[in-house]
Amino acid sequence: ELGDQRIPYLGPSDHGFQQLWETSYSGLALRRSCSLPEELHGRVEAALLTLRRRGCFLRDLVKVRDRDVFTAVSRVLLGQPGTTYRYLDTRLFTIPWPAGSTETETTGLGPQEKPVAELKHSLSGYHIEDEEDEDQQIGQGCSNLNPAKTSCPGPAQFNVTLLNYMDPAAMSQLKEEPYYGMGKMAVGWHHDENLVSLSPVAVYSYSCHEDDKGEGVRIGLKVAWDIHTPGLTLPLQSGDSYYLRDDLNRTHQHCVLAGDSARFSSTHRVAECSTGTLDYIQSRCREALSNLSTDPETGTHSLLSLLPATLQGYEEIHNEVEFEWLRQYWFQGQRYTRFCSWWARPMEQLENDWREMELMVRLHRDPLGPSNNTYYESVYRKVCVSAVVSVCVVTLQSWAVGGTLVSLKQPRPELCSLSLSLSLSLSLSLSLSLSLSLCTLCLRQCGVLSSNHI
Ligand SMILES: O=C(O)CCC(=O)C(=O)O
Ligand SMILES: [Fe+2]
């Protein structure tokens, strides 16, 4: 619709910026660096650099408009133990931050990285109304920009933070922002996915080499599906935080415009994880496996219920654990086991559960047959027997034909050859059809062929 035209956008130095913010972007709030304790900035900086040095930041392979692409930014997810976050068809597995006050728990984070987890407290307790008090406590003249002083419903219970890192100097192919001409993008236009409804998103921004001349990082905002309202860009200094509040994330899209220097961000969210926690998938597995019974003496397995609804239920769970968890973990989650072993054991357990569900599917297809290795051995035996039987049949028939010919003393030669070829082809086709039907039977029992095929 736009062709080569560009939609206008406003930055802080443009006339009407403040008014545009108040009218069309009121859910956006900026919290200047000076309103957080200096000491916290220092510790967070050290923590981010440690995470980078340990190689924790990795680019994700995600799906965008049916294409698999690597994100330009490198990422790592921290959060409540056992939580995952799903975006663009990729499930991220948290490196756990300390859960509550039980500091003795293995957290996955070393002491140097913990301040990143502390950030969530500082950012979540933020009330717009507290602004003036905080300013007085922390520093005079610290002006935050929250044109619309709407109230916050209460401290957000952030359960994850997705950390981003990118050094634009190391990235040769950053995309240009296409609609407004805002410049090169580190993160393209998007809504944050997989959040509980109205979850705020609180982002802490840290730029390395702030003093260098050159362009700083900015975030871009636009109203979704709207080419009339001007866009908005907001420059961020190192240590600044910004908030997407109310339903801003739903009604608007945001992007990150890469400056010239390397930059980290810590993006705190309340992930919708009703189907995204380890507890959840473990309980699903328990539900499926409750239909499997094992004889304690013989070790033979059987299904307790053959009701279609039960069978369909555990086939769904079988798929869910395989596609949403095991494959996602092997594909991308286990890259983090170098830094954090938290997921290794639970994932092994899920894999065992998945194997049991495989067994259940086989039992379901062949409720009478044994359902482990002995089953395949018996199928193999049947195939062998069918081969031997066919060979015997051919031999016997040839022998019978030969005997008949011998008993007809001085046979007429033409009669002889005719009857020989007739009986040979008869015996061959007989044994062929016999072995074919035996093989079909075996394959059907293995579940390779369904009755429709037959
Ligand atoms: O880095 C930022 O400021 C925001 C990044 C972002 O939008 C995201 O991670 O979803
Ligand atoms: Fe985002």
pLDDT at 172: 87
160 has a pLDDT exceeding 90: yes
For residue 446, name the pLDDT band (cuts at 50, 70, 90). low
301 has a pLDDT exceeding 80: yes
Q: What is the mean pLDDT of residues 1-18?
A: 91
Q: Ligand 1, from 48, 76, 219: best to mutate by most atoms within 8 Å of Cβ?
A: 219
Q: What is the mean pLDDT of residues 205-226?
A: 89
197 has a pLDDT exceeding 90: yes
192 has a pLDDT exceeding 80: yes
Residue nearest atom 8 of ligand 1, based on CA coordinates:
267
For residue 146, name the pLDDT band (cuts at 50, 70, 90). low
323 has a pLDDT exceeding 80: yes
Beta bridge partners of 201: 244
Atom nearest to 219 CA in ligand 1: 3
Encoded amino acid at 279, one letter? D
Highest-confidence segment of 295-304, 390-399, 414-423? 295-304
pLDDT at 147: 47
Q: What is the mean pLDDT of residues 63-84?
A: 94
Contact 206, 48 (CB under 8 A): yes
Ligand nearest to the CA of 267: 1
- Is ligand 1 within 6 A of the CB of residue 35? no
pLDDT at 397: 73
Ligand nearest to the CA of 75: 1
409 has a pLDDT exceeding 80: no
- 250 or 133, greater pLDDT: 250
* Rounded Cα distance, 69 and 329, in Å: 18
Least confident range of 54-68, 91-105, 287-301:
91-105
pLDDT at 445: 61
Atom nearest to 236 CA in ligand 1: 3
Contact 61, 70 (CB under 8 A): yes
Length of the chain in residues, anyone? 454
pLDDT at 332: 85
- 402 or 286, greater pLDDT: 286
- Is ligand 1 within 6 A of the CB of residue 113? no
For residue 281, name the pLDDT band (cuts at 50, 70, 90). very high
Ligand nearest to the CA of 187: 1
- Is ligand 1 within 6 A of the CB of residue 162? yes
Q: Which H or E run includes 353? A: helix 344-365
Q: What is the mean pLDDT of residues 191-201?
A: 94
- 1 or 325, greater pLDDT: 325
Contact 129, 151 (CB under 8 A): yes
* Rounded Cα distance, 309 and 56, in Å: 44
- Is ligand 1 within 6 A of the CB of residue 219? yes
Q: What share of the chain in percent tops pLDDT 70? A: 81
CA angle 61, 64, 66 (to 5 degrees): 105
**15 CA to middle of ligand 2, Å?**
27
**205 CA to middle of ligand 1, Å?**
9
15 has a pLDDT exceeding 50: yes
Beta bridge partners of 232: 10, 221
Q: Which H or E run includes 52? A: helix 38-53
Contact 109, 117 (CB under 8 A): yes
For residue 435, name the pLDDT band (cuts at 50, 70, 90). confident
For residue 106, name the pLDDT band (cuts at 50, 70, 90). low
Domains of the chain: 9-100+110-127+155-269 (2.60.120.590), 277-369+379-388 (1.20.58.1470)
* Rounded Cα distance, 258 and 267, in Å: 16
For residue 236, name the pLDDT band (cuts at 50, 70, 90). very high
Distances from the Cα of 103 to the Cα of 84, 98, 290, 339, 371, angstroms: 21, 6, 35, 18, 46
127 has a pLDDT exceeding 50: no
Q: What is the ipTM of this complex?
A: 0.99
- Is ligand 1 within 6 A of the CB of residue 77? no
- Is ligand 1 within 6 A of the CB of residue 24? no
Q: Ligand 1, from 203, 253, 261, 270: best to mutate by most atoms within 8 Å of Cβ?
A: 203
pTM metric for this prediction: 0.77
Q: What is the mean pLDDT of residues 43-47?
A: 92
- 196 or 447, greater pLDDT: 196
- 98 or 41, greater pLDDT: 41
- Is ligand 1 within 6 A of the CB of residue 192? yes
Least confident range of 46-50, 94-98, 201-205, 389-393:
389-393
- 439 or 351, greater pLDDT: 351
DSSP collapsed to 3 states, 252-284: EEEEEECCCCCEEEEEEECECCCCCEHHHHHHH
> What do you get for the CA distance between the two ends of the chain, in Å?
56
- Is ligand 1 within 6 A of the CB of residue 60? no
**10 CA to middle of ligand 2, Å?**
20
Beta bridge partners of 203: 242, 267
Q: pLDDT for 216-230, tens place per residue?
A: 999 999 999 999 999
**162 CA to middle of ligand 1, Å?**
8
Q: What is the mean pLDDT of residues 163-187?
A: 95
Q: pLDDT for 263-278, tens place per residue?
A: 999 999 999 999 999 9
For residue 440, name the pLDDT band (cuts at 50, 70, 90). confident
Contact 385, 393 (CB under 8 A): no
- Is ligand 1 within 6 A of the CB of residue 123? no
Least confident range of 237-246, 337-346, 431-440:
431-440
**64 CA to middle of ligand 1, Å?**
16
- Is ligand 1 within 6 A of the CB of residue 166? no
pLDDT at 404: 74
For the CA atoms of 333, 339, 344, 346, what is the dihedral angle to 10 degrees?
Answer: -80
Work out the burial of residue 387: count CB atoms within 10 Å of its CB; fewer than 13 is exposed, 13-18 middle, 19 or more buried.
Answer: middle
Contact 196, 113 (CB under 8 A): no
Helix axes 344-365, 278-289, angle to 10 degrees: 30
**250 CA to middle of ligand 2, Å?**
11
Rounded to the nearest integer, the mean pLDDT of the chain is 84
pLDDT at 425: 81
Ligand nearest to the CA of 241: 1
- Is ligand 1 within 6 A of the CB of residue 203? yes
Q: What is the mean pLDDT of residues 179-194?
A: 96
Residue nearest atom 10 of ligand 1, based on CA coordinates:
192
- Is ligand 1 within 6 A of the CB of residue 254? yes
248 has a pLDDT exceeding 70: yes
Nearest-CA neighbor of 232 among 242, 244, 223, 241? 223
Q: Ligand 1, from 265, 266, 270: best to mutate by most atoms within 8 Å of Cβ?
A: 265
